[in-house]
Amino acid sequence: MGTACASSPVPPPTEVIVAALLDAVEAGYRHFDTAAVYRTEEEVGRAVAEAVEKGLVGSRDEFFITSKVWCADLHVDSVVPALTNTLRVSMKKSPLGFAKEDIVEFDMRGTWAAMEDCFRLGLCKSIGVSNYGPAKLHQLLQHATIPPAVNQVGLFPPCRHRYPCG
């Protein structure tokens, strides 16, 4: 279940989001998709903890939580700290948009190596990518020692992927 509130200038109150997530757990949802930029990591963490506390699930292990490293953190020295912040359920206030001059070259090899470090350190159960086209996946697999467990691709009316692309 997606938890993005980014399209809302003011996200709903924490209690509303947590209650909605608990309703989803009661309905059988176990996969929640979040990201620091969605501004819902804290709420997902609270809902998971409450679901366990209330006996809606047996343990945290019943959940599959997906989060993403924001593009500003796709640097070798930023990946582990970004994931550490996610695991602490701390929030970074950052706008969704960015200026053209803020875009820097993406070090796929170094960033993926840092993601592999997160896995080896036990900070996450699996690592993956988001919205990678066939060419970009092929490029990644040329140097990955741990292949991505998933390529999460968002598809909804305003977001259509046209392949082949990077």
pTM higher than 0.75 for the full model?
no
What is the chain's pLDDT, residue by residue, as a tens digit (166 residues)?
888 875 567 778 999 999 999 999 999 999 998 888 888 888 999 999 999 999 999 998 899 888 888 888 888 888 888 888 887 653 333 444 556 666 666 788 999 999 999 999 998 999 999 888 888 899 999 999 999 999 988 766 665 656 544 4
Q: What is the per-residue pLDDT for 55?
A: 96
Active site residue 38: yes
CA dist 34 and 2 (Å) reads: 7
Question: Do 133 and 111 form a contact (C-beta atoms < 8 A)?
Answer: no
Token pair for 42: 């804290």
Q: Which of 29, 38, 132, 163 is catalytic?
A: 38
**Is 57 exposed, middle or buried (CB count within 10 Å of its CB: 0-12, 13-18, 19+)?**
middle
